C-alpha cells in the first residue's frame, strides 16, 4: 500500500508514581525532553504532535488536550489529542503513525500524560459517569463491577480458577522489579493475591493495577529521516483499532471481539498470518490480571480458553517461548491510564533493539506487539512492531 | 538507549503531604446539573417500568429482540421495527460480590455487599442482558445460570427509573 514507512527512533518516560509533585504538563515535558534527547533531536525537528490523555474528569479541566499542549510541545504546531480511555496509549501512536504514514509529515512526537491523583479522594469516583446516565448510573456502579463481571464470566466459561489468574499478577509485579519507572514492583505469591482485600469478588486488591501519575513519549519518523537519525529504527508495520457498542451487557463478556478485530487489521497490514508463531513478544494491556489472558486470546496469541495453559507452562515468563508484559505491565509498572499503553510500546521498542537491560528477553526477538483497551469495555488498539 | 541511563522524572508525594497541609490542595464541587432527554426508546422503556412492565424493541431483519430498547439496530444499522413486551424474569449471565462503593470507599461494617449482575431477560434474544443488582439472596448462593425475578417498588412509589426495579431475587419453581 502507498504508505510512508514509519519508525520509532526515540523514547522517554517518567517514573510512574501514586502522586506526583509535577503537574500533567510538567510530566509531559519531562518525557518529551527525554524522548528527543534519546535520539539527538530537538523540538525544532518535530513537525506535528499527537497527544494522548484520558478522562478530563481526572484533572477537573475540561478539554485537557488544549491544557496539556504546551507541556507536550504542541503549541503552534499541528496538534491533535486522542482519547479512548485505557486504549489511548496505543491509539495516540496509531494516530501519530498515520500523520507520518500519510506523507503529510516526516516527524511526529507522540506524548501520553496522565495525572490520576488530582481526582479526590479516588479517581474511581470519576468513572461512575462513563456508565449510561439513565439505565446504569442510578444503580451506583463502580468501574470495578464491569471487570469483576467480566472476570467471573471468563473464569466460569473456561473453568479457570482465581489462583491460576493470580499468577499473572505474581509474574508482572516481579518483572517490574527490573523497570526503573515502576511504581509497584514486588515479589509476591499466589497466596498474597488470594489473601489481599476482596474489593468486588472475584477481584482482589492485588489483582488490580494501581492509580498512577506519569508520562511517556516517543519520536516517530519517516523512513528516510529515521535512517539518518538511528541505525536501529523500530518499524511500526501494522496498526489496528476497533470499537464495540456501548451496550456492554448485551454481548458475552468472556471474549473481546473488538480486540480481535483490531488485531486482525494490524496483522493484515503487517503481513502476519500466524500470530502465535510470528509475534515473538507482546505487551497486552493488563490493568487487571485476568485481562492479560483475555487479551492474549483476543489478539489470537492463544487459542480460546488456552491462554491460561501458556501461563501455567511458563511460556509467558520473560525467559519463556512467548514473553508477555516483560516490562511488568500495568500491574507492576503502574497504570497512568494513557501513559501505560505508550510505556508498552516503549518496552517493545527497547526489547527489539536489545536495549531492555535486565528486562531483556532472550533470543533477539524481531517482531512484537503492544495493545491497549478501554472505554466502557469497548475499544481495542494494537500496534505491531519490527526491527 | 537503556532506561537505566536516564534520570527519570516524577517526584512521588506521600498522602500525608496532603493531610498535613504541606502541599496546597483545593477542593471544588463543580455545580453541573443535567436534564437528560431520554429519547424515544429509553423514554418508552422508563414509562413502562413505571407500569411494572419491561419493554424491548425488535429488529425484523436480524430478528433480535433488544433490551434496553433502541430505535436503531447496531448490527443491521437500520431502524428497528416493533415494540415487544418481555418478562420480568431472567437468568444470571455473570455477577460480582462487591464490597466497595462507587467512589472506591468501603461499604460499612456489617453492611451486606452489593451483588451486581448481568441479567439476560426472558423474552429478549439470548445473551441480551441488562446491568442490575441482586437481593434476597446470600452472596455465596448466587450462581451463573440462576433464574431470577424482578422485585418492583410499590406502584405509587415508581418514578420511571431503572430503580423502579429494586433488585432481582432468585425465582422459585
pLDDT classification of B58: cutoffs 50, 70, 90: very high
Long-range contacts of A365-368 (CB under 8 A, 24+ apart): A365/A280, A365/A281, A366/A280, A367/A272, A367/A278, A367/A279, A367/A280, A367/A281, A368/A279, A368/A280, A368/A281, A368/A282, A368/A283
Q: Is the ipTM of this complex over 0.95?
A: no
CB neighbourhood size of A237 (10 A)? 20
Q: Cβ contact (<8 Å) for A15 and B45?
A: no
Are residues B8 and A15, on separate chains, in Cβ contact within 8 Å? yes
Instruction: Look at B70 and A135 and tell me if their CB atoms are within 8 Å.
Output: no
Q: How far apart are the C-alpha atoms of A96 and B47, rounded to whole Å?
A: 47
**Rounded to whole angstroms, how far apart are CA atoms A148 and A204?**
9
> Whole-prediction pTM value?
0.94
| SS3 of residue A8 by DSSP | strand
Residues of A in contact with B128 (CB under 8 A): 250
pLDDT at B84 over 60: yes
What integer pLDDT is reported at residue B173 of this predicted model? 53
Choosing among A21, A135, A205, which should be mutated to test the B contact, i.e. which has the most B CBs within 10 A?
A: A135
The confidence score (pLDDT) of residue B126 equals 92
- Which cell numbers hold the place of A182? 515502576
- Non-local CB neighbours of A81 within 8 Å, separated by 6+ positions: A51, A52, A53, A64, A65, A66, A68
Establish if B30 touches chain A: CB-CB under 8 angstroms: yes
Q: Is residue A135 less than 8 Å (CB to CB) from chain B?
A: yes
Segment B64-74 mean pLDDT:
95
The yes-or-no verdict on residue B128 having pLDDT over 70 is: yes
Query: Which residues, in sequence order, are bridge partners of residue A373?
Result: A380
- Tell me the C-alpha distance between A346 and A186, whole Å: 21
CB neighbour list of residue B38: distance below 8 Å, 6 or more residues apart: A134, B46
For B69, which residue in chain A has the nearest alpha carbon? A247
Give the DSSP letter string of A364-385: ---EEEEEEEETTTTEEEEEEE
CA-to-CA distance for A290 and A355, rounded, in angstroms? 29
CA-based nearest residue in chain B for residue A21: B11
Q: Do B98 and A142 touch (CB under 8 A)?
A: yes
pLDDT (0 to 100) of residue B74: 92
Per-residue DSSP letters for B73-140?
ETTTTEE--EEEEE-SEEEEEEE-EE-B-TTSPBPPTTPPPB-EEEEEEBTBPTT-EEEEEB-SS-GG
**Contact call for B128 and A250, based on CB within 8 A:** yes
Q: Judge whether residue B102 has pLDDT over 90.
A: no
| Chain B touched by A273 (CB under 8 Å) | no
Mutation target among B7, B64, B75, B102 for the A interface, most CBs of A within 10 A: B102
Cβ atoms A370, A120 nearer than 8 A: no
- CA dist., res. A299 & res. A264, Å (int): 8
Rounded distance, CA B42 to CA A95, Å? 35
Instruction: Report the pLDDT value the prediction gives residue A198, as an integer from 0 to 100.
Output: 96
Chain B nearest-CA distance from A272, in A, is: 28
- Cα–Cα distance for residue pair A45/A106, rounded to 1 Å: 9
Note whether B4 contacts A180, CB cutoff 8 Å. Answer: yes
The three grid cell numbers given for residue A227, joined into one nine-digit string: 535512517
Q: Which of B24, B94, B111, B168 would you mutate first to test chain A, the one with the most A CBs within 10 A?
A: B94
Note whether B71 contacts A: Cβ–Cβ < 8 A.
no
pLDDT tens series, chain A, 387 aa:
579 999 999 999 999 999 999 999 999 999 999 999 999 999 999 999 999 998 888 888 889 999 999 999 998 999 999 999 999 999 999 999 999 999 999 999 999 999 999 888 788 888 888 899 999 999 999 999 999 999 999 999 999 999 999 999 999 999 999 999 999 999 999 999 999 999 999 999 999 999 999 999 999 999 999 999 999 999 999 999 999 998 999 988 999 999 999 999 999 999 999 999 999 999 999 999 999 999 999 999 999 999 999 999 999 999 999 999 999 999 999 999 999 999 999 999 999 999 999 999 999 999 999 999 998 889 999 999 999
Residues 302-321 of A with CB under 8 A from B: none
Amino acid at each position: 500500500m502507498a504508505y510512508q514507512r514509519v519508525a520509532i527512533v526515540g523514547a522517554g518516560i517518567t517514573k510512574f508514581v501514586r502522586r506526583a509533585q509535577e503537574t500533567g504538563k510538567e510530566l509531559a515535558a519531562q518525557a518529551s525532553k527525554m524522548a528527543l534527547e534519546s535520539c539527538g533531536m530537538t523540538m525544532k525537528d518535530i513537525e506535528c504532535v499527537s497527544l494522548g490523555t484520558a478522562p478530563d474528569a481526572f484533572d477537573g479541566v475540561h478539554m485537557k488536550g488544549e491544557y496539556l499542549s504546551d507541556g507536550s510541545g504542541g503549541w503552534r504546531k499541528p496538534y491533535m489529542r486522542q482519547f479512548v480511555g485505557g486504549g489511548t496509549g496505543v491509539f495516540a501512536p496509531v494516530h501519530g503513525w498515520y500523520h507520518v504514514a500519510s506523507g503529510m509529515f516526516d516527524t511526529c512526537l507522540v506524548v501520553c500524560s496522565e495525572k490520576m491523583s488530582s481526582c479526590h479522594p479516588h479517581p474511581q469516583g470519576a468513572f461512575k459517569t462513563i456508565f449510561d446516565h439513565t439505565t446504569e448510573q442510578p444503580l451506583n456502579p463502580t468501574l470495578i463491577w464491569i471487570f469483576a463481571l467480566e472476570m467471573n464470566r471468563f473464569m466460569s466459561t473456561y473453568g479457570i480458577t482465581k489462583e491460576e489468574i493470580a499468577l499473572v499478577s505474581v509474574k508482572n509485579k516481579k518483572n517490574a522489579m527490573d523497570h526503573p519507572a515502576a511504581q509497584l514492583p514486588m515479589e509476591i505469591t499466589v497466596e498474597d493475591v488470594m489473601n489481599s482485600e476482596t474489593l468486588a469478588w472475584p477481584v482482589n486488591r492485588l489483582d488490580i493495577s494501581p492509580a498512577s501519575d506519569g508520562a511517556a513519549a516517543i519520536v516517530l519518523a519517516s523512513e528516510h529521516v529515521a535512517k539518518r537519525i538511528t541505525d536501529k529504527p523500530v518499524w511500526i508495520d501494522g496498526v489496528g483499532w476497533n470499537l464495540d457498542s456501548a451496550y456492554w451487557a448485551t454481548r458475552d463478556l468472556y471474549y473481546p471481539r473488538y480486540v480481535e478485530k483490531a488485531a486482525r487489521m494490524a496483522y493484515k497490514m503487517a503481513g502476519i498470518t500466524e500470530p502465535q508463531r510470528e509475534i515473538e513478544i507482546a505487551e497486552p494491556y493488563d490493568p487487571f490480571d485476568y485481562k492479560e489472558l483475555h487479551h492474549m486470546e483476543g489478539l489470537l496469541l492463544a487459542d480460546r480458553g488456552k491462554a491460561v495453559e501458556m501461563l501455567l507452562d511458563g511460556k509467558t515468563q520473560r525467559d519463556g517461548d512467548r514473553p508477555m508484559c516483560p516490562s511488568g505491565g500495568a500491574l507492576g509498572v503502574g497504570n497512568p491510564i494513557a501513559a501505560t499503553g505508550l510505556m508498552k510500546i516503549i518496552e517493545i521498542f527497547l526489547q527489539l533493539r536489545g536495549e531492555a537491560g535486565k528486562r531483556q528477553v532472550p533470543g533477539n526477538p524481531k517482531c512484537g506487539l503492544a495493545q491497549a483497551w478501554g472505554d466502557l469495555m469497548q475499544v481495542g488498539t494494537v500496534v505491531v512492531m519490527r526491527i | 538507549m537503556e532506561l537505566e541511563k536516564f534520570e527519570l522524572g516524577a517526584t512521588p508525594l506521600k498522602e500525608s503531604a496532603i493531610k498535613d497541609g504541606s502541599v496546597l490542595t483545593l477542593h471544588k464541587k463543580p455545580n453541573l446539573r443535567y436534564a437528560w432527554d431520554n429519547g424515544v426508546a429509553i423514554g418508552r422503556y422508563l414509562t413502562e417500568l413505571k407500569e411494572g412492565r419491561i419493554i424491548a424493541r425488535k429488529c425484523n431483519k436480524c430478528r433480535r429482540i433488544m433490551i434496553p430498547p433502541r430505535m436503531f439496530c447496531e448490527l443491521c444499522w437500520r431502524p428497528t421495527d416493533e415494540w415487544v413486551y418481555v418478562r420480568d424474569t431472567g437468568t444470571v449471565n455473570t455477577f460480582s460480590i462487591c464490597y466497595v462503593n462507587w467512589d472506591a470507599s468501603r461499604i460499612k461494617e456489617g453492611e451486606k455487599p452489593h451483588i451486581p449482575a448481568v441479567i439476560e431477560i426472558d423474552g429478549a434474544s439470548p445473551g441480551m442482558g441488562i446491568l442490575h443488582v441482586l437481593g434476597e439472596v446470600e452472596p455465596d448462593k448466587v450462581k451463573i445460570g440462576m433464574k431470577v425475578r424482578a422485585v418492583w417498588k410499590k406502584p405509587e412509589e415508581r418514578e420511571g427509573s431503572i430503580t423502579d426495579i429494586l433488585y432481582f431475587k432468585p425465582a422459585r419453581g
